[in-house]
Amino acid sequence: EIVLTQSPGTLSLSPGERATLSCRASQSVSSSYLAWYQQKPGQAPRLLIYGASSRATGIPDRFSGSGSGTDFTLTISRLEPEDFAVYYCQQALTFGGGTKVEIK
């Protein structure tokens, strides 16, 4: 069973700063099934990235995904106020525990 570990648990940053979120798999996984989601309180998850690096429809280009094998990264180049949320990675049917990006 694959386990996805996200780090850090919480990231405290200011608007305009760069956010780097990590997702580490317990064994090598296919990049084709690696996705990232954003979730705000009271809302459903929103697909940001699929296939490890492809942005979903309507997602701003400040969001980018990279990685392969066991290590994947979601980068938000310059945080906008609406980007403060919880982010989850997913590989097939497994979700990571999430990273909360909060305002510093």
Q: Where does this chain touch other proteins (CB under 8 A) — which range of 12-20, 22-30, 42-50, 65-73?
A: 42-50
Figure out which of the listed residues 13, 22, 56, 73 binds other proteins, where binding follows CB under 8 A: 56
Whichever of 70 and 94 has its CB closer to other proteins, that residue is 94
Apex CA 67: angle with CA 62 and CA 73, to 5°? 50
Q: Is 47 in the site for other proteins (CB under 8 A)?
A: yes
The reply on whether position 54 binds other proteins by CB under 8 A is yes
Beta bridge partners of 91: 34, 94
Neighbours of 70 (CB within 10 A): 15
